Every structure is written in C-alpha cells, then in structure tokens.
Chains A and B, each alone.
Chain A
Amino acid sequence: MSGLRIALPGGTLLEGACELLDSAGVIRLDPSRFDRELSVTEGGAVYVKVRPTDVPVYVEMGACECGIVGKDVLWESSRACYELADLRFGVCRLVLAAPRGSPLVQGVWPASLRVATKYPESARRFFAARSLNVVLIRLHGSVELAPATGLADCVLDITATGRTLAANGLIEVAEAGVSTARLIANLAALKTRNEAVGGLAASLRRAAASRRAEGAA
C-alpha cells in the first residue's frame, strides 16, 4: 500500500479495523500499539489513530488518503469523501427509544417531542419526513439519562446490543438506520493514487466478504 496514510478510528472500532487489515493481508497491527503511539509507520504506510469524528476531517483535507470510520459518523459529517466499501464490522443501529410510559411505546406520535441525541444531523433528517414539532437537544454523552431526568421525552441514539437502553428503562420505538464501518477516501487521492487506494479497497472488501461468509457458516 505504497505510501498511503490511513486514519483509524479510536474506540470500539479500532480492534475490528486492525483485525480486518490483518485478515486482508494488508498489515498486522496490534491495537494496543496505539496506546503508546498515535502514528505507526509499517509496511510503507502510515496508520494514525484519531477520534472517530475526526477521521472524515483528516481524509477530506488530504492529511490521510484513506480512513476507516463508522457510517454513524458519516451521517453527521459534512465532509466530502468517497465512501468506497462497507467493511461490515462494527454493526450498530441508530434508534429512537422512549421510557415505558411514553405514548411512543404505544405507537402514538405526540404532536410535540423533545429528543436528546448525540446525532443532531441524523435526527434532523429522520424527523424531516414527519411533521412533528420536534425540539432537538444535543448532548455529548450518556444520552440515556435525558428521559429519566426530564430533560427530554425520548432519545435518538446508537445501540449495538440494546443493553444500555434496557438498563435505563428505554424501549426501542423506531429504527433510523443501521451503521457499519466504512472505508473512505480523499477525493483527489482516488484519482492521483488510484492503484494504491483501489488496491486497499479491493483487499478490505474481499476480507470483509469472506469474514461474513465464515460468520454465517
């Protein structure tokens, strides 16, 4: 992967990203290496670990040619990048969830709704199709607390297993989208470094498909 700079997302997707790069035969990277250093040069490529929301920033501005990031981050990002491949790991869902007593749980959409979310852009789009009087409240973490404290009527949040929602007495009402990890590329790099970027995309896509086939078997 001659000379590519690849942005990897810190957090829950890092391990999956390293596993996929390994099974694609691209590079063997131990995720714990990034505990000590944020940038690893290996096999002629540079791997940097950045916050997931920063991956599209590095890629759009050309600081990295490619990046691996969750679709949930791309929903929120206004950065222009190519979304080259669905890497099929890191599956999670963006759902609307409400407390047991909410009319939403009975399938009734109230005329006005306060929604707490870390995903305001996705929420705006999700509610754009429904003529509700929605007030979005942007939070940066622990969104599940908002209904319990009276800050909001419901939440629009990411869930992988549903356990955190359930533990906070929240019931899924609707699904806004399903997110998986994606390979993204800089607009110019896809043209100027077509072979390297295309080669990376092809290897990761193959590896993702065969891992899914194994998983299904």
Chain B
Amino acid sequence: MTGLDSLPPGARARGRADGFSDWLVGSAASRRQLTDRFIETFEAWGYGFVVTPLVEPLDTVAAGVGAARQSGLFRFMDSDGDLLALVGERTVSVARVVATQLHDGPFPLRLCYAGPVLRNQALNTGRRRESLQAGCELVGSTALTADAECMALAAAALERGGVHHVQVDVGHADFIPGLLESAGLDEPARDVVLGALARRDLVSVEAALESTDMADAERRLLLAFPTLRGGREILDTAASGLRGDRPTHALQELAQLWDLLDAHAITDRVHLDLGAVRDWDYYTGPTFEVFSEDAGFALGSGGRYDMLLSRFGAALPATGFVLHVDRCHDSIGRRDGAASAPWVLGVGWDDADAQPIALDAARRLRDRGVACACNLSAGGDADLHVTMHDAHWSMGGREERGSIDAAVDALSPREP
C-alpha cells in the first residue's frame, strides 16, 4: 500500500486549515521584527498606533470594498444572526474609527496599524489566505503635501525594514477616467475601456478604442498605456494636445507632487505612471504602488480616498497606504536566505549550590541583551558552565576559564 492510498480523501495537514501557514522559530521572529521596523518608522513620523478588530460587520466592510471583493472574504453569522466578516484589509476599519470616534480632530490626524488580514483565496494557488499588513492613514487634509508624505513614508519604512531597490510608482486615479470623458466617450464606452483596464487586458482596451470615435491626442495617450511612465518630463509629453480639464488637472497635481517628492529627496526612486490601473471607485486623487526589483508583486500601495469617510458619516479627506509585510519578508528572505533561529546562550551548573550563581549570571547577561536558557538540572551541556568557585565557557571555539564576573563580561556584547 502506498502512502497516499493509506490516507483518507480530504486528509488535512494535521489539524491546520488549508491555505494557512505556521510561522516557526526564526521566520516568526524576523517577520515580527520587520513589522516592528515598519511601525517604528510610522511612529517616528508622528503616526499614532491603533488596533482595530479582526472582525467587522459585513455592512462596514461593504462601505469600503465592492461586491466582488466582499465575496473573497471569510463571512459568517454570529448567534444574533448578524453578518460578520474577517477583515480583508484595514483601511476601512481605521476610517470607521475616525468617522465615529475621532471626527472632532485635531486634524490632520495621523494613524498607523499592523495586523493580519484574511482572504478566502482558492486553494493550491500559491496565494496566502492570511497575511500581515501594516499601514498609515493621514486624515483631514486635501493638500498634496499629505500625499507626498505618505509616499515618502512608505519608501522610508521599506528601506528601514531592509528592502532594497525600492521603487515608487505614482499615478492619479482621475487621469484615465478624466481622459476618457474629455475624449468624448459616452458612458457605456468608458465603462468598457475602464473594465478592460481593470482586468489589465490591454488588447481589449485597444480594440475598444479602435471601434470608438475619439480625438487623436487622447487615443495616442491611451494606446501608449504601458509606456506612460517616467520622470517629470512625461507630464509635458502627455499634456501636449490634451484639452479636457480633468486630465489636465490630474497632470498639474502630479507635477506639484513631483516637486514635493523632490523636497523629500526620493525622486531618484519615483516613476510617474499615468497608466496606473487602480480601483477607480475607491481612489479619488494621487495613487501609488511600491515595488522592489526582486519581488513579483507590489510590496505596498496607497493613495487618496476622499469619499470613504463620508460613507461612515464624516466627510473628511484622507490619504494613506498599506505595506504587505509577508511579501516584503519573502523578498528579504529570498535575498538573504531564511532567517535562522536567534542564538541563545545555554547556561549550566554543576551542583545545586551553584544553581543560584548560574541563575544570577544569566540574569546579568540578559540585562546586557544576551538571550540565556538555563539547564533544568545539574550538569549537562552548556555554553557557560558555573561552579561554586568559577566558570568555564567556550568562545570562538576556545575553552576559557575564569571568575563569574569575567565570564559575564566576556560573553556580553561589545560596546559599539
């Protein structure tokens, strides 16, 4: 009988739900440290840490994400018959908190968060069902300086977390819809093009544009879709021949934003991306995505969403972003290799009288930042072995012997 035949159909990895992961010693720690680096950076920029529930009423979730994405959530009913969902992102939760509890300001209000999000992804696709997100929301300002701050902060957090070759792609949610409107496309035709763009099906975009009557400047821009990328100079190229107010205004905002990003000294990592495909129902102004050369997915994304808070009864402008901690962690892991378990100093003693001395030595070493695990009985292997009179320890492959104080000093980290 082969191994497979002996297993019942539908057998699970001993007790763990399919599509979820355990994080073991080493990788769990490096993932937590990465999250800490992100939060530290957010706090250093004045963003206050908040925690929102893992569960939200389905109505709350529905205020933020469209029907298609709701169906990708884990949804359930509690004993009162209320429909609930495990959160698939956390911006909606933070927006709810601001609109219902912090609506009196003071503004601008800077908040940050980190926590798991869950998506009911199909199995065996390589996609995670649970992942960790960390993000910031800057509420109460319509100024482009707020958008620039979020972009600079996202890049700073990734770099602080150890992600290399960070690249920020900046777009504008109103550029393409505005371009389609000013090109004279009627609403059904616009929906066809926007729908194809949302599916990232540029072949259909092209076909739709060929079959519609529109001005050359706009058609040229839309057909150049994947190449509408570059530095500030592409704004002038794009603006030539353009007549509509909406796309022109979007280009003007991007020009101002470029100068603000220059003030943050990050334009060497910024590309303007006029063809950025984002959720046009959600975003209302500048948007951005963050990439790293060694990752096949965006590591973070964000933008201005001025309509969301009004759905919770507080008409407040807002901009923000999310970082995908697990994708960042994957990217760093591919580069540096998987994180190994942190080093722990084993402390032993030779008889019961020496145990208090060994425990005291461990206490002193821990105070100096050395992780120590004490033997649970006398004798046994140890990196530091304590007797009534002295200690011996191994360092750099050499056996050393001396007083307890000498051992603690020798095993403590050197002052930088």
Binding site for B on A (CB under 8 A): 57, 60-63, 78, 80-86, 182, 186-192, 194, 197-198, 201
Partner of B200, one of A61, A83, A198: A83
**Are A192 and B291 in contact (CB-based, < 8 A)?**
yes
Interface residues of B in 378-404 (CB under 8 A from A): none
Partner of B203, one of A60, A83, A187, A192: A83
Could you mark each residue 157-178 of chain B with 1 if its beta carbon is under 8 Å from any beta carbon of chain A, else 0? 0000000000101000000000
Residue ID in chain A nearest B330 by CB atoms: A62
Q: A188-B295, A191-B169, A191-B271 are in contact. Are A86 and B203 (CB under 8 A)?
A: yes
A60 to B200, CA, bound (A): 12
Partner of B202, one of A60, A78, A83: A83
Q: Which residues of A contact B169 (CB under 8 A)?
A: 191
A83 to B271, CA, bound (A): 21
**Are B296 and A62 in contact (CB-based, < 8 A)?**
yes
Instruction: Summarize B's interface: helix, strand, loop or mixed.
Output: mixed
30 A–B pairs (Cβ distance < 8 Å), ordered by A = A61-B126, A61-B296, A62-B295, A62-B296, A78-B122, A81-B200, A82-B200, A83-B204, A84-B202, A84-B226, A85-B202, A182-B203, A187-B200, A187-B296, A188-B291, A188-B295, A188-B296, A188-B297, A188-B298, A189-B296, A190-B226, A191-B167, A191-B229, A191-B271, A192-B167, A192-B292, A192-B293, A194-B227, A194-B271, A198-B226
A49 to B260, CA, bound (A): 46
- Number of cross-chain contacts by CB at 8 Å: 61
Interface centre among A61, A83, A188 (most CB of B within 10 A): A188
B36 interface hit (Cβ, 8 Å): no
Distance between A87 CB and nearest chain B CB, rounded to angstroms: 10
Number of residues from B at the complex interface, CB < 8 A: 25
Q: Which residues of A contact B297 (CB under 8 A)?
A: 62, 187-188
Partner of A80, one of B200, B226, B292: B200
Q: Which residues of A contact B292 (CB under 8 A)?
A: 192
Contacts A78-B122, A85-B202, A188-B297 known; 15 new A-B pairs at CB < 8 A? A57-B125, A81-B200, A82-B202, A83-B199, A83-B203, A84-B202, A86-B203, A182-B203, A187-B298, A191-B167, A191-B291, A192-B291, A194-B226, A194-B229, A197-B226
A187 to B202, CA, bound (A): 13
Interface residues of B in 26-59 (CB under 8 A from A): none
**Are A198 and B202 in contact (CB-based, < 8 A)?**
no
Q: Which residues of A contact B206 (CB under 8 A)?
A: 86
Residue ID in chain B nearest A65 by CB atoms: B296
Interface residues of B in 291-311 (CB under 8 A from A): 291-293, 295-298
Distance between B129 CB and nearest chain A CB, rounded to angstroms: 15
A80 to B377, CA, bound (A): 57
Distance between A13 CB and nearest chain B CB, rounded to angstroms: 16
A189 to B296, CA, bound (A): 6
Residue ID in chain A nearest B289 by CB atoms: A191
A186 to B126, CA, bound (A): 15
A7 to B126, CA, bound (A): 18
A186 to B202, CA, bound (A): 13
Q: Which residues of B contact A187 (CB under 8 A)?
A: 200, 296-298
**Are B226 and A82 in contact (CB-based, < 8 A)?**
yes
Q: Which residues of A contact B291 (CB under 8 A)?
A: 188, 191-192
